[in-house]
Amino acid sequence: MKHTTIRHTVLAVALATLGLGLSAQAPSQEDIIRKNLKERLPKIEKIDEITKSPMPGIYEVRVNETEILYTDAEGNYLIQGALIDTKQRRNLTEERMEKLTAVDFKTLPLKDAFVIVRGDGKRKMAVFEDPNCGYCKRFERDLQKVDNVTVYMFLYPILGASSVERSKNIWCAKDQKKAWADWMVRDIDVPAATCDSAAVTRNVEMGRKYKITGTPTLIFQDGTRVPGAINPQQVEKFLTAAK
């Protein structure tokens, strides 16, 4: 009886130990990276996501919603920069950023833009521009050549106080489209005007959220985002592809 009792006790302990072993899961690679980075780099307040990158042994660390960093499997090293696929000649970091900062055209607050319609207006695009931006002026003059389009113009003053003041004057003008064209195309300054110009402030806040750092920035109906001044032929190409 004693031997039987001892065997039962040993078996019970073994099973209990096995159960504990099965229930106690080893920390995942993501947990290890997250823990080490938080301990060693307290300035990183929040890590949004950690995933394997296309490069073996390297993990993508996403912070501040759209910022991309890279690290090894234990968070011992941190890399800031672009990950390039040399075989396919692709900037993988840039492609990832484009996905993270993509803007759904349907979600744009169009009430905070004024509308310019040319021709039948069937094709649509949104443009973020600073009235003091020289590239924007060049782009606006080229955009006059594009027909059958509706342009949602978001005033986006990011070049200083003068840009903010001029944007508010344009927004508060009796004829926003004329005031905009006078200044951007004909170099006729906009008279001072006052009204509820909170839309201009909201545009800047939205632009920061979507990481719009330069003007002009174009957004087409299919979500394609194009930074910088492009010529009318390129605009036509994107409008056709978006349709």
| Mean pLDDT to the nearest integer, 106-131 | 97
Task: Answer with the one of 40, 73, 100 that is the final residue of a domain.
Answer: 100
- pTM listed for this prediction: 0.71
Total domain count, the chain: 2
Model confidence band, residue 8 (pLDDT cutoffs 50, 70, 90): low
Q: Domain of 146?
A: 105-242
Instruction: Supply the pLDDT for residue 25.
Output: 75
Model confidence band, residue 5 (pLDDT cutoffs 50, 70, 90): low
User: E-assigned strands of the chain?
Assistant: 47-52, 59-63, 67-71, 78-79, 84-85, 90-91, 114-118, 123-129, 149-155, 217-220, 225-227
| Mean pLDDT to the nearest integer, 152-157 | 98
In this predicted structure, the answer to whether residue 100 has a pLDDT above a threshold of 90 is no
In this predicted structure, the answer to whether residue 164 has a pLDDT above a threshold of 60 is yes
In this predicted structure, the answer to whether residue 98 has a pLDDT above a threshold of 60 is yes
Is position 22 within any domain? no
Distance of CA 242 to the CA centre of its chain: 19
DSSP 191: P
Q: Which residues contact 73 (CB under 8 A, 6 or more apart)?
A: 29, 32, 33, 57, 59
Task: Give the count of beta carbons closer than 10 Å to the beta carbon of residue 9.
Answer: 10
Q: Would you say 78 and 50 are in contact if contact means Cβ atoms under 8 Å apart?
A: no
Instruction: Supply the pLDDT for residue 85.
Output: 96
For residue 155, the cross-strand partners are: 129
The per-residue pLDDT of the chain, averaged, comes to 90
Same domain, 95 and 179: no
Model confidence band, residue 14 (pLDDT cutoffs 50, 70, 90): very low
| Mean pLDDT to the nearest integer, 73-96 | 94
Distance of CA 167 to the CA centre of its chain: 23
Q: What percent of the chain has pLDDT over 90?
A: 77
Same domain, 77 and 141: no
Is position 178 within any domain? yes
Same domain, 63 and 114: no
Instruction: Supply the pLDDT for residue 183.
Output: 97
Model confidence band, residue 7 (pLDDT cutoffs 50, 70, 90): low
Task: Answer with the one of 71, 100, 129 that is the final residue of a domain.
Answer: 100
Q: Which two tokens stand for residue 171?
A: 């927004």
Distance CA 223, CA 149 (A): 16
Distance CA 165, CA 153 (A): 17
In this predicted structure, the answer to whether residue 20 has a pLDDT above a threshold of 80 is no
CATH number at residue 86: 3.10.450.70
Is position 19 within any domain? no
In this predicted structure, the answer to whether residue 182 has a pLDDT above a threshold of 60 is yes
Instruction: Supply the pLDDT for residue 115.
Output: 98
Q: Would you say 124 and 238 are in contact if contact means Cβ atoms under 8 Å apart?
A: no
Instruction: Supply the pLDDT for residue 79.
Output: 95
CATH number at residue 219: 3.40.30.10
